[in-house]
Chains A and B, each alone.
Chain A
Amino acid sequence: MTEPGFRRTTVGNVRLHVLPTDRFKTFAVALYIGSPLDEEKVTLNALAPFVLRRGTRSYPTTQLFREKQAEMYGAGFGFDVYKRGDSQLVQFQLDIVDDKFVSEKESLLRQGLRFLGEAVTKPALADGHFVPKYVEDEKETVRKKLDALINDKARYAAERCLAEMCKNEPYRLHPLGAVADIPGITPDSLYRNYMSWLSDSPMDLYIVGNTSEAEAKAFVEEAFEFPARPSSPGYASSFAPVKVDRVNTVVEQLDVSQGKLNMGLRSGIGYADDRYAAALMYNGILGAYPHSKLFLNVREKESLAYYAASRYDGHKGIVTIQSGIEVGNYERAVQIIREQLAAMKAGDYSETELKQTKAMITNHLREIGDSAFEMIAYDFNTVLSGKERTVEQIAGEIQACTPEAIQGVAETVELDTIYFLRDRKGD
């Protein structure tokens, strides 16, 4: 990558990160607002973006708001609510067409930022709080989303495994909150939470595209009406390894055609750790790729599954395994997976597995620069974890990673929870 990295400044105690580039056809904008996962606030925080997108000071009805969006060539406006480590994140996004492809009187970046600034900081209000109809509608929307978690059985099983595993930690909370919290929320309580959320939360605004730091900053200053923010907080590093004493097995029954097997493992290693690259290698060899142990042994050798993979969450230090199998093959699948985990502990991997995994991880890292949003997401991980590490640096650590280092990671990995979603037939 020949471009320089993000230029960083602040606006109203909000961190602004700008990457000038002309490689893309759009401006990518992302605003991250974070809070600690907290059962008192999780649902209030999650509900806020749903209400904000219903109307703003200048576009008080949802139809007007969306028409404005459409007029700006779609604007790619959206938001997401998810969890990372012990933080709940709300991420707003815009993907605005670069002016050179269309003829607009006013810069589309300026229009887009103004639109986002309205959405986040100038909501439509009634009597000094959110519009009651919007709040009622969106309470309903969030409730339906939480109820609908059960629909996608593979995802539901993965969520349930984590909820069981982390039942004594904030991570057990779903990022959208809890259905039980919803009835008690009022337009006023939501608004008050939103105001303190805006004034106290760590915020990071990213802009990638054909602009300059100065121009972007000027547009942001003009567009956003942040409340007075006493400081520009970072994220508390909350990573703490958890000791496992015994494996907890949970079986749930629903009318499913295929059994969903999920496992959760604790690793002592987080994103900020010096051993992070080795942890990525561990996960890569175990189950991240079609050449990995899980794919080869569960799917290809035994034909037990279509998907058999592992994922590593560096913010939480958790490895998860997912596989969809015939209910009757549960014991066999668990046995094969345990064998792969044992092989990892024993350092049983070939030169080829090592080489292939290094090549795949390095490839993935090098591809990040080809996408504005991937670059933003990567950089935000460094902000969230407090660990500065460029793509080049981590790629170098991956290349240099030794089997001993990977085995060192394997020694810290312990199976914590097995969760199996199966049908109601038989035993």
Chain B
Amino acid sequence: MEVITIERLQEKLYKEELAGGLTVFVLPKPGFSKTYATFTTDFGSIDNHFRLAGGKDIRVPDGIAHFLEHKMFEEPEGDIFATFASHGASANAFTGFERTTYLFSATDLVYENLKTLVDFVQHPYFTDQNVEKEKGIIGQEIKMYEDNPDWRSYFGLIAAMYKEHPVRIDIAGTVETIAGIDKETLYECYNTFYHPSNMILFVVGGVDPEKVFELVRANQAAKTFKPQGEIERLQPEEPAEVGVKEVVVHLPVSLPKMYFGFKEPSGVPKGEALVRRELAVKLMLDALIGPSTPLYQTLYDEHLISDSFGHEYNIAPDYAFSVIGGDTPDPERLLARFRELAEPMIAAGISAADFERTRRKRIGSYLRMLNSPEAIANEFTRYRFSGGDLFELLPLYDSLTLAEINGLLREHFDWRRLAVCTVRSGEA
């Protein structure tokens, strides 16, 4: 067991890699009543084509990582939610592009709940019948998203931007693609990606780290895990240009909702460079188009945007893109004005004062986030899988330079790699 003291944040992080390959982290929060734990696999919706060293090439249906997440909760004795509930724990799970996370939050019987979490995720139970039954439920989940304009415009933009890369597919799949899921394929995905060496357990809250490690050490030692080679994640060749420049989706909405974004030619390999770029680009976007900027204020004054206007940046080893937008009465005009206003600002660069102020703002957000055990567990895991460390971001922020931000500013806004997705009401 390793103890890492993070002076600036007044936190102590405990870490150990266990027999079988699982890495466990514990962040004790003295004085806190609850414990929040996440058990995460490095497997998400983009992992639809893979190969284990020396094994065969496997392609899986869209939506399978999410489907597997749903099915994980079922055990021969019933639904694991009931076990958690009996121990007063609130449990949940979610699937993203890159990770699937199982979690609970509890103020009592914490060690029992921890054991339940690890055991249920390490015990898959898929039957033909329980797989079939889930299709109806997930079908309704998919339909729920279909009616959601935010969801449709966001994912519509990504699908437009990317031609081949699986980041373009719906995380939950479609009613058609999930119809083709069977228990054999679920087991195949499970056996490949849910090996402990591909997973992280993070426990934060009013816990005793010694007790957590004792429990998990014994738990893992009692199970057998064959050593597994590297998982080869096979990604297609993705052209640098966007797939489709413009997409329109018709839904009954009060005003059009437009998201546009810039596709970066490629991602960055896992490690410090990836983490640094993410922080830097996010700061750059905030400094150019955040709510305190002249660009934002002008668009607001011209009634082209409202409080819903925002921005985001996603980066992984093989993709990176921004998403910018919100509700607007005139998508075409908004985009035109955005370009008119942004181009001279990009040419001139961000000022030193704006850079410093934005950096303070981002540091504030980061510190605020560290109040939340949920955010800590999930962000730590995300950074860890990307080759970074959530607790080392302050020195990284301190080291960012104005020149660096302005370099990224000019690099990112390549108008040839712009894609746009608009959700609007259909013609009457």
Contacts and interface: CB of A to CB of B under 8 A. Distances in A.
B297 A63 contact: yes
Q: Which of A101, A256, A306, A357 is packed against the most chain B CB atoms within 10 Å?
A: A306
Interface in A66-124: 66-67, 69-76, 95, 97-98, 100-102
Interface string B184-223: 0000000000000000000001000000000000000000
A76 B361 CA distance: 9
A167 interface: no
B5 interface: no
B235 interface: no
A26 B371 contact: yes
B357 A291 contact: no
B108 A152 contact: no
Contacts of A137: 300-301, 303
B138 A306 contact: yes
B364 A75 contact: yes
A23 B85 contact: no
B361 A63 contact: no
Interface in B73-116: 79, 81-82, 85-91, 105-108
A402 to B, nearest CB: 19
Given A150-B252, A359-B86, A66 B291 contact: yes
B33 interface: yes
B357 A303 contact: no
A130 interface: no
B253 A151 contact: yes
A24 B370 CA distance: 9
Contacts of B33: 1, 366-367, 369-370
B358 interface: yes
B133 A303 contact: yes
B426 A255 contact: yes
A129 interface: no
B306 interface: yes
Contacts of A95: 368
A162 B299 CA distance: 36
A47 to B, nearest CB: 14
Contact of A23 (B32, B144, B147, B251): B32
A151 B308 CA distance: 13
Contacts of A371: 371-372
A254 interface: yes
Nearest to A373: B371
B357 A299 contact: no
B365 interface: yes
A10 interface: no
Interface string A228-263: 000000000000000000000000001111100000
A153 B150 CA distance: 11
Range for the number of chain B residues in contact with chain A:
35 or more
A126 interface: no
A168 interface: no
Interface string B349-390: 000000001101111110110111100000000000000000
B107 A363 contact: yes
B371 A101 contact: no
B143 interface: yes
Contacts of A299: 137
Contacts of B292: 63, 66-67, 69-70
A363 B108 contact: yes
Contact of B254 (A67, A147, A363): A147
Given A74-B365, A371-B371, A363 B86 contact: no
Given A73-B360, A147-B255, A363-B108, A256 B373 contact: no
A152 B29 CA distance: 37
Given A290-B85, A367-B34, A24 B371 contact: yes
A151 B254 contact: yes
A144 B255 CA distance: 8
Q: Which of A2, A72, A149, A305 is packed against the most chain B CB atoms within 10 Å?
A: A305
Range for the number of chain A residues in contact with chain B:
35 or more
Interface string A247-282: 000000011111000000000000000000000000
A322 B373 CA distance: 29
Contacts of B149: 151-152
Nearest to B206: A370
Interface in B241-262: 251-255, 257
Contacts of B230: none
Nearest to B251: A255
Given A70-B292, A70-B361, A258 B136 contact: no
B314 interface: no
Interface string B268-308: 00000000000000000000001111100100110100110
B31 interface: yes
B114 to A, nearest CB: 15
A254 B251 CA distance: 10
B250 to A, nearest CB: 8
Q: Which of B107, B147, B306, B365 is packed against the most chain A CB atoms within 10 Å?
A: B147
Interface in A177-230: none
B8 A101 contact: yes
Nearest to A69: B292
B349 to A, nearest CB: 18
Nearest to A67: B292
A69 B358 CA distance: 10
Interface of B: 8-10, 29, 31-34, 79, 81-82, 85-91, 105-108, 133-138, 140-141, 143-144, 146-150, 205, 251-255, 257, 290-294, 297, 300-301, 303, 306-307, 327, 357-358, 360-365, 367-368, 370-373, 426
Q: Which 10 A-B residue pairs are closest in the complex by CB-CB distance?
A: A73-B364, A303-B136, A74-B364, A359-B88, A66-B292, A366-B107, A356-B85, A258-B143, A306-B141, A147-B254
Interface of A: 1-2, 23-26, 62-63, 66-67, 69-76, 95, 97-98, 100-102, 133, 137, 140-141, 144-145, 147-154, 254-258, 289-291, 299-300, 303-307, 324-326, 352, 355-357, 359-360, 362-364, 366-367, 369-372
Given A25-B367, A70-B360, A137-B303, 8 more contacts: A23-B31, A25-B368, A101-B9, A141-B307, A152-B148, A290-B81, A300-B137, A304-B136
